[in-house]
Amino acid sequence: MRIQIKKFIVLILKFSARVLASCIRRWRWVDVEPFYEIFKKYDFYFLPKHYFLPIPDDDDMKFACESELVGINMRDDFQMEFTHAVVLKYKSEFDTFPEYESNNNRLQYFMINGTFMTGDGHAYYSLIRDIKPATIIEIGSGQSTLLANHAIDKNFEECTKDTCQLKVIDPYCAYKLEKLKRLTELKNCKLQEVGLNYFHQLKSGDILFIDSSHTLKSGGDVWMEYCEIIPRLNSGVYVHIHDISLPMPYSTSYYHSHWYWNEQYVLQTLLTNNDKLEVVWAGNYLFHKYPKEMTTAFSPGYDMMRKIYPQAGPCSFWIRVK
């Protein structure tokens, strides 16, 4: 019965949409603005299709293809050396994390989490353990924050002088981060509400971890990150950007979920012919270019991840300010 009612409602909506769209196209006197305001009130957008919109066109999706990353020094030799010297240095420690979430401790990082898994987790955990940053600022939070908390705690166990300030900016926290042992500051606000001077505290060897909206918009967080924050960072600061598929285009699964991400193209533009930033470790790039070597190096975690999430792969992109 419910399925029949749902089909009936969908049928009515389709008919109404067809009539409304036909009127708008044929008669210019139909004003779209009232419909736009009505839908916006209920957190939806009513937008006629137009080439000025940032929403990708179905016909254009066929042009999305692998990029040659012209003008970007991907430093393959360095990345592979970094993989073995740093990323895999603490693999035995990382592999002791539980595979799945614990009902007893929701603040415990676990490997098969769907967001920050094999490769990405190894790189972040090992970098913190290796360089021992004095300050980490995360824009966006989640499993990465739980992992950072553990890595910082491990450093402190080995040497009580190795203290690290873990700070988070996230208006949409999914976890009760204030309970984390090593969290020193939590700003439950938009990035745009945080002054640019806040990021001056990051010095050489510190980390800026970016995992925000992934979408460039006027006045949005991605605009602020790439146009205002990264260019101001001190020399030696490591910057992480998550969900970067380069050299491949974004997965069509995002498009079909109506997530119109474009951040990786902003990153690609920023890095092109830019000698102020250097590539440190690009997960998807390495697994795409050196699949056999990388999958072998990150087994058995990689195999476990792909068993549950067949399309998953590392998507962290690390750069460093020269």
pLDDT digits (tens, 9 = 90+) for 81-136: 999 999 999 999 999 999 999 887 889 999 999 999 999 999 999 999 999 999 99
Listing from the earlier edge strand, what are the strands of the sheet with 165-169?
183-187, 165-169, 135-139, 207-210, 238-241, 317-321, 277-282
DSSP string, 120-149: HHHHHHHHHHHH--SEEEEES-SHHHHHHH
Comparison of pLDDT for 71 and 36, the residue scoring more: 71
Phi, psi dihedrals of residue 318, rounded to the nearest 5°:
-105, 130
pLDDT at 309: 93
What is the Cα–Cα distance from 209 to 238, expressed in whole angstroms? 8
Comparison of pLDDT for 200 and 175, the residue scoring more: 200
pLDDT at 25: 66
pLDDT at 242: 98
Q: Output the 3-class SS for 42-83.
A: CCCCCCCCCCCCCCCCHHHHHHCCCCCCCCCCCCHHHHHHHH
pLDDT at 261: 96
Residue with tokens 């992109």: 317
Half-sphere exposure of 194 (CA within 13 A, CB side): 25
Of all residues in the chain, what percent are helix, strand and coil, respectively (each to 5)?
45, 10, 45
Which tokens belong to 133? 């940053």
What is the Cα–Cα distance from 49 to 254, expressed in whole angstroms? 19
* Spans of all domains in the chain: 2-48, 63-321
pLDDT in tens, 227-274: 999 999 999 999 999 999 999 999 988 988 999 999 999 999 999 999
Task: Look at residue 29 and tell me whether its pLDDT is greater than 60.
Answer: no
Average pLDDT over residues 293-297: 95
Which tokens belong to 80? 């592979």
The answer to whether 234 and 321 are in contact (CB under 8 A) is: yes
By percentage, how much of the chain surpasses pLDDT 70?
95
Which tokens belong to 95? 């592999």
How many residues are listed for the chain in this entry? 322
pLDDT in tens, 31-58: 777 777 877 888 888 777 788 888 888 8
Residue 18 banded pLDDT, cuts 50, 70, 90:
confident
* Beta-carbon count within 10 A of 200 CB: 11
Identify the helix (H) or strand (E) that includes residue 92: helix 91-94
Closest CA to 239 of 265, 212, 277, 186: 277
Task: Look at residue 219 and tell me whether its pLDDT is greater than 90.
Answer: yes
The answer to whether 250 and 261 are in contact (CB under 8 A) is: yes
Phi, psi dihedrals of residue 226, rounded to the nearest 5°:
-90, -30
Comparison of pLDDT for 25 and 253, the residue scoring more: 253
* Beta-carbon count within 10 A of 168 CB: 26
pLDDT in tens, 154-163: 999 998 777 8
What is the Cα–Cα distance from 135 to 183, expressed in whole angstroms? 11
Which tokens belong to 169? 């900016």
The answer to whether 39 and 46 are in contact (CB under 8 A) is: yes
pLDDT in tens, 185-199: 999 999 999 999 999
Question: What does the radius of gyration of the chain's CA atoms come to, in whole angstroms?
Answer: 22
Task: Look at residue 175 and tell me whether its pLDDT is greater than 80.
Answer: yes
pLDDT in tens, 201-215: 999 999 999 999 999
Looking at residue 250, the DSSP 8-state letter turns out to be P
Average pLDDT over residues 283-298: 96
CA 219 to chain centre: 19
CATH of domain 63-321: 3.40.50
